Amino acid sequence: MKSGKDAVREFMSCIIVALVIYVPAVTLIYLIAGKFSLSVPLGALYGSLVTALYYYLFARAMRSAADNGESPEDVKKRIQAAYSLRMFLLVILMGAGLAVSVKLGWISWLPMLLALLVPRIAIAAYQIKEKKRGTESEKSDE
């Protein structure tokens, strides 16, 4: 069984790897499409950093709730409060990114917002991989 710290590290490594792949991939797509500007990788990088922060705070909140040994109602309240704080932070940071995109044009808004989808895809791929690993280990045990 994994410790809370190991679980957070494994969860975050999956997301970080996906975001590290995302930034050059989206830059390459824009380059091939002939729409490249420096604002594209900057937007992808900013969106990736905000997204990584969001999921890091998520993982920490889950670990904290699991480690405290509180009643289920208290854990639920803590998780909901942490969710509200994370969503507020996400809206503020992405809103600031959109404002910079519109006013100054330093970052491209589409790669910034698409970075929010990358962890969902990475988590789904990770869960599929873990399910296969579990199925294969069950077969080898028989």
Residue partners of 46: CB distance under 8 A and separation at least 6: 97, 107, 112, 115
Indicate whether 28 pLDDT > 80: yes
Tell me the pLDDT band of 141, cut-offs 50, 70 and 90: low
Residue 3: predicted pLDDT:
67
Q: What is the mean pLDDT of the chain?
A: 89
Question: What is the span of the domain harbouring residue 86?
Answer: 4-137
Q: Which residue shows structure tokens 């917002």?
A: 113
Residue 142 lies in a domain: no
Residue 36 lies in a domain: yes
Return the sign of the alpha-carbon dihedral for residues 128, 116, 113, 115. Answer: negative
Over residues 109-116, mean pLDDT: 96
Residue 59 lies in a domain: yes
What does pTM read for this prediction? Answer: 0.85
Q: Which residue shows structure tokens 């109602």?
A: 73
Residue 56 lies in a domain: yes
Instruction: Label residues 37-46 b or e (16+ Cβ within 10 Å = b).
Output: eebbbbbbbb
